[in-house]
Amino acid sequence: MDVNIAMRPEAVALNRSDNGQGSAKQAILAGVADLFSQAYGLAAMEILEGLEQRETLGSTGFGKGIAIPHCRSSAVNRPTLVLLKLNTPCNFESADAEPVSLVFGLVSPENAGATHLHALAAISRVLRDEAMLQALHDADDAEALYALLTNQFLRDAA
């Protein structure tokens, strides 16, 4: 299944950390929402509310140092992605109890049921590749992270 995921270079940020507003996990979700706002012009509060609501259903900690907080919004017309690489790994209540250092935020259109699930599956496929996962953890700037992801998604779509 080919999934058209939107991602811009400015949707990748490094070394965001707890800004003193609540738990580290809460600050990370706020950082993801802010990044959606900065990169795509989405309403940060709307996105944060969606991410928080989804998180109440269970942690979006994927394991292996990855979290994929996600929600839906009428403000996007296709799955839209951001990436925060954290300077200090955070407890995200992942099933494997590993702290998270890579946070992939995903916002999909409001009534994109199957498309949303296919986008989550595409992201998880990329992250199951051990070499790719190591490259993402080792990358030290936003440009390198963006290049890794876009090259991977373009290759998978081919």
Tell me which CATH homologous superfamily contains domain 9-157: Mannitol-specific EII; Chain A (3.40.930.10)
pLDDT at 2: 54
Q: Which residues of the chain have pLDDT under 50?
A: 1, 18-21, 157-158
pLDDT at 153: 67
As beta bridge partners, residue 63 has 66
Confirm whether 70 is a catalytic residue: yes
pLDDT at 18: 47
Report the relative pairing of strands 61-63 and 80-90 from DSSP bridges. Answer: unpaired
pLDDT at 74: 94
CA atoms of 84 and 29, how far apart (whole Å): 10
Domains of the chain, residue spans: 9-157
- From its phi and psi, is residue 22 left (phi > 0), alpha (psi between -120 and 50) or beta? left
pLDDT at 106: 97
Residue 25 near residue 92, CB atoms below 8 Å = yes
